[in-house]
Amino acid sequence: MSFEGKTALVTGGTRGIGLAIVRALRRGGARVVAITKSQEQIAIFHKEFAEDPLASAELADVRDRKSLEAVRDKLTQLDILIPNAGVNTRTKALELADEPLREMLDTNFYGVFLTCQIFGPLLLKKPGGRVVVTSSMGAIHGLDLRAVYTATKAGVSGLVRSLAIEWGPMGATVNAVGPGIIETPLTRAYMDEFPERVQATIDNTPLRRLGSPEDVADVVAFLASDGARFITGQTIYVDGGMSVGSAWW
């Protein structure tokens, strides 16, 4: 998959799945701009890509229109848009406080919509644009203690279908990936605390392993490539088969 001459933007692109996506697109030759709201993450990103002039990071919050517009105004071209930034809080629905509730709604859905709305006009300047949103297996597979998270991801997959209809006539495809249980720096602490849940995940995944950020990034790269030129409006679940069902019964 070649992305030579193309420019990509990845929100939440300095760690976990987002960073793996940046690496995959760079391997294909794209110029990649990663967005993060953490100055510390920018410093870490710059260390990895210190000798790579085609990888850069910008400070912005996907919940803040002006900060996203400031990044957009620095770009002269955009071919691939990856709204990836997301957050999650595990707690019972009846006990979820307002602050984490708003953070999930504003980051996982509003932030994705805002990213598409602000960068869409630049992407749609010419045919061939690619949008790949990070949804979740939770969009179709209920998860305990994650009612709001799964609701936002279901909303994101719905958004993808509608944007595919709106933007298809202008030559752009809009798809999503739905990661399953992926081992990242953010999930590692949870896994270390509850190893029995890790084993239960493996036991209930047909491919009998956890996912890696690279498993997701490779699918994102495909959807961003010319090989996926006739695929749009879809959410591709990268979950080792967990969401299709299980054999426990």
**Listed residue (86, 234, 83) closest to 148, CA to CA:** 86
User: Strand 80-82 relative to strand 7-11: parallel, antiparallel, unpaired?
Assistant: parallel
Q: How far apart are CA 179 and CA 210, in angstroms?
A: 11
Structure tokens at 51: 């000798």
Give dist(CA 223, CA 220) in Å, integer: 5
How far from 123 is each of 32, 138, 179, 247, CA to CA, in Å?
14, 28, 25, 43
Question: Reduced to 3 states, what is the DSSP secondary structure of residue 123?
Answer: helix
Active site residues: 149
CB atoms within 10 A of CB 194: 12
Q: With H, G, I as helix, E, B as strand and everything else as coil, classify residue 138.
A: helix
